[in-house]
Amino acid sequence: MKLTDFIKKKTPKSDSSAKVLPYGENIITCTHLNKQFMGIKAIDDLSLQIPQAKTTGLIGPNGSGKTTLMNILTGLIKPDSGKITVRDKHRTRIKSNELRTYRIARTFQDGRVIEQLSVEDNLLLPVAKNTLWGGFTEIKTDDYQSRLEKVLDITSLKDHRHKRAEELSYGLRKLLEIGRLLMQDADIYFFDEPFTGLFPEMVEQVCDIISGLQKQGKTIVIIEHNMGLIKRLSDYIIVLDHGTLLAEGEPDAVLKNKKVREAYLGV
């Protein structure tokens, strides 16, 4: 039996208690975050804000704490101390099973798809109910089917829908993971190096997908080393260095910052 036979009857409801902030205000605030691994500070007393309905480029040298911060904000790891505020919800940590409540979705640098499942089932999996017994009672609905067709079209995966993920090229697997992100219809999207290893034509396709989310007023955070793409897509840039905030602000100003150029660009 296919996974499509187990999809929930109704779309999961968003958290109605979450206060929607006006455009331009901060949707995520981190206050005095700390995280150590084997005594090494990956995040060091970090305080910053992520503006709502804008695209934020998260940059910095290798080992600067970018992925650690993204992992904290998407529930993969727990900070040692500090506070995270998403909208008006104050927490010492975000749990991965609460991401739907916060309407947060993310991609991974290493492309986490389930190779033995079809493209279609990989796309439907993120919207399936999270409980074992609930999963056996879910059924496919027109709501999910409509969203599925739209995502297949956006990601150019319609002709591959019945293929197993393991049969796809590297670039199509990247698009599949982005499709899984889009299926969740979130408010906050985290992209962890979405352009790595892609041919120029596919880079443009991913840029178009991100631009589509921007037009919908979504909040987007991108880790990326290509400064041309960061400058092109970002409204705001946050620069980390050794787990601390080096600079933040509009792209032109940040990329001209002397400390940023010395620490990151080496000039």
* Residue 14 confidence (pLDDT) above 60: no
Percentage of the chain with pLDDT > 90?
69
pLDDT digits (tens, 9 = 90+) for 221-252: 999 999 999 999 999 999 999 999 999 999 99
Instruction: List the single range of 27-36, 46-55, 242-251, 256-265 with lowest mean pLDDT.
Output: 256-265
- Distance (Å, whole) CA 250 – CA 28: 17
Q: Which domains does the chain have, with CATH numbers?
A: 18-103+186-201+219-267 (3.40.50.300), 114-185 (no CATH)
Length of the chain: 267
pLDDT digits (tens, 9 = 90+) for 162-180: 999 999 999 999 999 999 9
Tell me the pLDDT of the chain averaged across its residues: 86
Q: What is the mean pLDDT of residues 109-136?
A: 77
How distant, in Å, are the alpha carbons of 134, 139, 173, 192, 207 from that of 107? 25, 26, 12, 6, 15
This prediction's pTM: 0.85
Q: What is the mean pLDDT of residues 180-185?
A: 94
CB-based contact 102:91 (threshold 8 Å): no
Q: Which residues of 171-198 are buried (b: 16+ CB within 10 A; e: fewer)?
A: bbbbbbbbbbbbbbbbbbbbbbbbbbeb
Residue 171's identity, in one-letter code, is G
Query: What pLDDT is stored for residue 17 in this prediction?
Result: 33
- Distance (Å, whole) CA 238 – CA 250: 9
- Distance (Å, whole) CA 257 – CA 251: 10
CB-based contact 62:68 (threshold 8 Å): no
Q: For 137, which DSSP code?
A: T
Give the count of beta carbons closer than 10 Å to the beta carbon of residue 47.
13
Residue 18: band (very low, low, confident or very high) from pLDDT cuts 50, 70, 90: very low
Query: What pLDDT is stored for residue 139 in this prediction?
Result: 43
- Distance (Å, whole) CA 22 – CA 88: 13
CA-CA-CA-CA torsion sign (15, 70, 111, 207): positive
Among 107, 78, 113, 86, CA closest to 14: 86
Q: Which helix (H) or strand (E) holds 229?
A: helix 227-233
Query: What pLDDT is stored for residue 9 in this prediction?
Result: 38
Query: What pLDDT is stored for residue 88 in this prediction?
Result: 85
254 contacts: CB under 8 Å, gap ≥ 6: 237, 239, 247, 248, 260
Query: What pLDDT is stored for residue 97 in this prediction?
Result: 85
Q: What is the mean pLDDT of residues 143-162?
A: 93
Residue 33's identity, in one-letter code, is L
pLDDT digits (tens, 9 = 90+) for 46-93: 999 999 999 999 999 889 999 999 999 999 999 999 999 999 888 898
Query: What pLDDT is stored for residue 267 in this prediction?
Result: 62
- Distance (Å, whole) CA 66 – CA 243: 8
Query: What pLDDT is stored for residue 263 in this prediction?
Result: 77
Residue 253's identity, in one-letter code, is A
Residue 26: band (very low, low, confident or very high) from pLDDT cuts 50, 70, 90: very high
